[in-house]
Chain A
């Protein structure tokens, strides 16, 4: 067995398992194939307890220590003569079984007790971790999340987790999102025996169906006659249902959309919804470490859970803790968001900006957008993920959760970032819940922010107000905006270092950072972040952040692959700009394809896509 991760989206990943010289993509389903149960033709990988050899890759389970039989089949077993105890026995009893099982196989049975994970892992090079009593564990949602996340932290990125009996079309997405790599077809069999048809939205008993809401080959053959569906027909339907959904899950991971699929799938089952809630609230660091900082596709925020997505929380934290506003601005102008992203490309924001630029001193004004679910977005960050791609249902009605979130951020933001004057150009339903937090606010919005009346009022106020300050030159402000963005991307110290003595050239959103005729980096609309050149990388190389060190004898050609990495900054996230060092000298710069921790521990896969090298 060999396993490597190909694609990551949060803790979910697409992997490639090489088994019996065949390739199997994960997440996947181990289809039960025994003397009595035939796996469907479309199965990729099988699990069995009998002795026959098969053409397809197969996980072969031998007898337990309590069995009076010994396995007499041909071929290698994935695990044999194993001793497992139910999850709720004492820790000592589990430890005794771990001692008993100390001969390691490529499959390792692990009791669902987090206290013994590290004992199981001692001298253990198994690749597939099979969670014993996974179903009972799942019934205690917080224990389940605690166990799986801890198991993942301990086994690292290069090994697989399998939860026998757990997983059906409505839960695959969520379970994969926590990091489960393998499921099986047992739930499909049990459901079929109980006359239950599985669907991604909700499982339904045969008796609950007036029509068969499915056109899979098995259901099609029924020609609409629900009552004639027997065990085999339902089982075949269930097999198709789990196959379809596992493909959906893999697709979503590849697209970077797994979170959206998760939020859709958990709707039908409160226990799944509570698992996601627990994950978001208690395991933010676990999620955040694994969540990319750049993503091209839309972030669809249509559920309450979207508010607590790790990338949203991270954005909010960085705005408060890392971001530094342009230095010369004195007037804070609050604006509403626009459906079109980036905001400044929208019709409404063009109207606002016309009025700003018609004032005498437009560059003294700092635009900050109030929005859900991001909270507050300074104009210079409008190209960054997720500000550049989020999409919500706009109704003008704000939920209490949203109000609370925005108020908290605003309060923190105003404590750190001081302005002389503040203008509120947002409709009254936003004003209502933020105005008390703003000292001496000037309100320019009359009903609709884009009405002529409102815009004229904005013009009037700006004309008068901006004339009270010294004129901020356009070139200076463009520089400060770039510095503000850089502070969000790299932190303030690196931002200052990078931009020292630089000029900004080019038309927004494509702008170059030029230092004495040498280009250090470029902001692009596509990434929303600064992409560095070699010169840029060299300038900030010894800042102690965003570095990857490769082995001295490693020659940098195309990408940096994990085996070449000696050490890496653990704060690196997927999508981050990283500097490649060799022997303490900068030899390349590129984009992280895995996070810093995975780079350090993993032996396979592309770690950094190189843009420039010496």
Chain B
């Protein structure tokens, strides 16, 4: 077994899941999103399941979504209760986004009968449903059922490729699948005319700021022919992860917002019509992507505008004195061999 896999496993050794009610969802709420180029209300549901199959085995270095999972089987009855509860607050949004902190298409999280029952009910109400899944669950069998339920309505699967570089995915992320497996899943989706959204991780563990910018840009370029949407997701420091373990020891810093802007600008130029979005969890805080604190708000707003407008002009007026520190970091970080993590940090 890969040593990084072992480390991911080791850090979860003493993890005890919070006790929670299996008949209640993690959360659900309504938010703004884009549907067919128009701003609409979208309804978000996070189901509580046993958790991501990969996280249960070892998990990714940056992913802390397993903290929300139950780690033991959730009964069909409870899952339906969760769904019923969420629908109590549902007010007719035409776009529904489903998360499970794992793969919606994994039969071990949600049995096919339940999954299809939920999808059937939603398909009657909404124009678009989006879910998430690892590529191994994106199969002909499952997609044909989905297609049958949704017909011409929009169904999108979000898939976390993180990077097109197999070495990075294996030795920095511990993702547990290859670029080829992703491509195979993407082609299967095309066959059924379903929409693929690909997540690209900005600044995986172990990469310098500059390496991560290059990695994200080249990944976007390599997948533009496979995906409908690219969602750049900067690493945020989630609880009980390898990222958090090293971040606490001053051996990791989340990306600069400058880097994210750089990735978005360049990727937009390279990928043309592909929709690019970027949700920055924990943006502006020390656990999320951040700049010097003074300019963070401006940057976060511009990035949010870009996700909606798809126009790099929103970045034109961004400036701050911290730019020089960021440029220095790009220029000399690899010469520090791990020491230079953050410019505001201690020097000796």
Contacts and interface: CB of A to CB of B under 8 A. Distances in A.
A37 B327 CA distance: 11
A92 interface: yes
Interface in B6-27: 6-7, 10
Chain B CB within 10 A, most for which of A48, A83, A96, A193: A193
Contact of A68 (B215, B245, B250, B343): B215
A303 B279 CA distance: 57
A134 B332 CA distance: 15
Interface string A131-147: 11111101100000000
Interface in A23-54: 32, 34-37, 47-49
A35 B340 contact: no
Contacts of B347: 135, 165, 168, 186-187, 190-191, 194, 196
Contacts of A186: 332, 335-336, 339-340, 347
15 contacts: A36-B328, A36-B331, A37-B331, A64-B208, A64-B211, A66-B215, A69-B214, A86-B252, A130-B337, A138-B348, A164-B337, A184-B335, A186-B335, A186-B339, A190-B343
Contacts of B343: 190, 193-194
Contact of B337 (A109, A139, A196, A231): A109
Interface string B281-293: 0000000000000
Interface of B: 3-4, 6-7, 10, 165, 167-168, 171-172, 206-208, 211, 214-215, 218, 242, 245-246, 249-252, 324-325, 327-328, 331-332, 334-341, 343-344, 346-348
Contacts of B171: 65-66, 83
Chain A CB within 10 A, most for which of B172, B214, B251, B336: B336
A130 B339 CA distance: 11
A88 B341 CA distance: 14
Contacts of B249: 86-88, 136
A132 B206 CA distance: 12
Interface string A73-96: 000000000011111111011011
A135 B339 contact: yes
Contact of A66 (B211, B324, B348): B211
Given A66-B168, A66-B206, A67-B214, A90 B10 contact: yes
A130 B336 CA distance: 10
Contacts of B339: 133-136, 164-166, 186
A88 B324 CA distance: 29
A131 B348 CA distance: 15
B207 A66 contact: yes
Given A69-B214, A84-B338, A89 B328 contact: no
A61 to B, nearest CB: 6
Given A65-B171, A84-B337, 8 more contacts: A49-B332, A66-B165, A66-B167, A92-B7, A93-B3, A96-B3, A135-B336, A168-B348
Contact of A86 (B206, B214, B332): B206
A101 interface: no
Given A130-B337, A191-B347, A34 B168 contact: no
A452 B168 CA distance: 85
A64 to B, nearest CB: 7
B348 A167 contact: yes
Interface in A111-141: 130-136, 138-139
Nearest to A130: B337
A189 interface: yes
B328 A87 contact: no
Contacts of A361: none
Nearest to A83: B171
B348 A35 contact: no
A576 B344 CA distance: 50
A57 to B, nearest CB: 16
Given A36-B331, A88-B246, A68 B340 contact: no
Nearest to A192: B328
B344 A194 contact: yes
B334 A64 contact: yes
Interface in A147-176: 164-168, 171
A93 B2 CA distance: 9
Nearest to A162: B337
Interface in A210-236: 231
